[in-house]
């Protein structure tokens, strides 16, 4: 069974039964919640990025350089990292899926901004995405940064574990995230993207109370693990 490790904010490491290590939305060194630095992450085989904002992407290029990992992101982000010397990358876009050695990744719609950290021209601005990851027979949905969308209803029956932002202000707040749980109906939901800064302060126990008993709410601490 795959293991998910939380690093704070919205950053995770996913390790498969076969030993593949996948980092999702790498934000380590400047992440006030993270308990490790980027150089302590260890071996990485793949890097998945939902979008290009600093708090989801800032460590993607250096981590790819240091580990040789394949970076998976939208076409525009892959084009941008190519200008920084990262050639080991796989472009995708919303609605598309691909079978990687570790499992399948499908990009889903997200409503958010598309600026890419480090792109001063705006040339590589892209659509943000969510990630539907199938690994070791389990299905993980990392919503990225997003508002509540009706499209989430289409994920019902396809998700075992959902990772949803609850911070409000920049993304869904607890109320909309609880509605997203109602739409998706996962077995487990992990709230993220809150309490990193004052603008997104939230009480995860309030979110738990809104979800009720229809889905198990797993409040993860940085460094914590969850078996999928």
User: Is residue 228 a part of any domain in this protein?
Assistant: no
Strand segments (E) across the chain: 3-6, 12-15, 21-24, 46-48, 70-74, 89-92, 97-100, 103-109, 129-135, 138-142, 161-165, 188-192, 216-217, 225-227
Task: Give the model's pLDDT for residue 30.
Answer: 86
Phi and psi based region of residue 160 (left: phi greater than 0; alpha: psi -120 to 50; beta: remaining): alpha
What local confidence, expressed as pLDDT, does residue 121 receive? 86
Q: For residue 120, what pLDDT is reported?
A: 83
The pLDDT of residue 32 is: 86
Q: Is residue 49 part of a domain?
A: yes
pLDDT value for 226 = 96
User: At 205, which CATH number?
Assistant: 3.60.15.10
Q: What pLDDT score was predicted for residue 154?
A: 97
Which pLDDT does position 116 carry in this prediction?
A: 85
| Token digits of residue 211 | 């979800």
pLDDT at 118: 78
Residue 73 lies in a domain: yes
Domain count, the chain: 1
Count Cβ atoms below 10 Å from residue 69 Cβ, excluding itself: 24
In whole angstroms, how far apart are CA 40 and each of 36, 57, 66, 90, 158? Answer: 6, 17, 11, 24, 33
Distance of CA 17 to the CA centre of its chain: 20
For each of the chain's 228 residues, which pLDDT tens digit applies?
Answer: 899 999 999 999 999 999 999 999 999 998 888 988 988 899 999 999 999 998 899 899 999 999 999 999 999 999 999 999 999 999 999 999 999 999 999 999 999 999 889 788 888 889 999 999 999 999 999 999 999 999 999 999 999 999 999 999 999 999 999 999 999 999 999 999 999 999 999 999 999 999 999 999 999 999 999 999
pLDDT attached to residue 112:
96
- CA pseudo-torsion sign 208, 29, 63, 168: positive
Task: Flag whether 227 is in a domain.
Answer: no
193 located within any domain: yes
CB distance 60 to 27 below 8 Å: no
Q: What is the dihedral of CA 48, 43, 62, 117, to 10 degrees?
A: 20
Q: Domain range holding 129? A: 3-220
The reply to whether 226 falls in a domain is no
> In this structure, is residue 225 part of a structural domain?
no
CA-closest candidate to residue 3, choices 140, 129, 110, 101: 140
pLDDT at 147: 99
């Amino acid at each position: 069974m795959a293991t998910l490790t939380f690093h704070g904010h919205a950053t995770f490491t996913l390790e498969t039964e076969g030993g593949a290590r996948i980092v999702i939305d790498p934000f380590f060194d400047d992440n006030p919640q993270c308990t490790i630095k980027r150089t302590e992450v260890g071996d990485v085989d793949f890097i998945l990025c939902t979008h290009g904002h600093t708090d989801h992407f800032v460590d993607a290029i250096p981590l790819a350089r240091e580990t040789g990992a394949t970076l998976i992101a939208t076409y525009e982000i892959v084009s941008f990292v190519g200008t920084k010397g990262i050639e080991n990358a796989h472009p995708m876009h919303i609605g598309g899926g691909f079978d990687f050695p570790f499992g399948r990744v499908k990009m889903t719609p997200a409503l958010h901004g598309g600026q890419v950290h480090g792109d001063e021209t705006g040339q590589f601005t892209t659509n943000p995405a969510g990630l539907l990851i199938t690994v070791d027979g389990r299905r993980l949905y990392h919503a990225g940064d997003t508002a509540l969308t009706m499209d989430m209803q289409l994920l019902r029956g396809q998700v075992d574990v959902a990772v949803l932002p609850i911070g409000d202000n920049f993304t869904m707040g607890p109320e909309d995230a609880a509605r997203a749980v109602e739409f998706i109906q996962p077995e487990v939901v992990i709230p993220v993207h809150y309490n990193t800064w004052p603008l997104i302060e939230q009480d995860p126990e309030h979110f738990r109370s809104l979800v009720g008993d229809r889905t198990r709410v797993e409040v993860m601490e940085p460094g914590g693990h969850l078996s999928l």
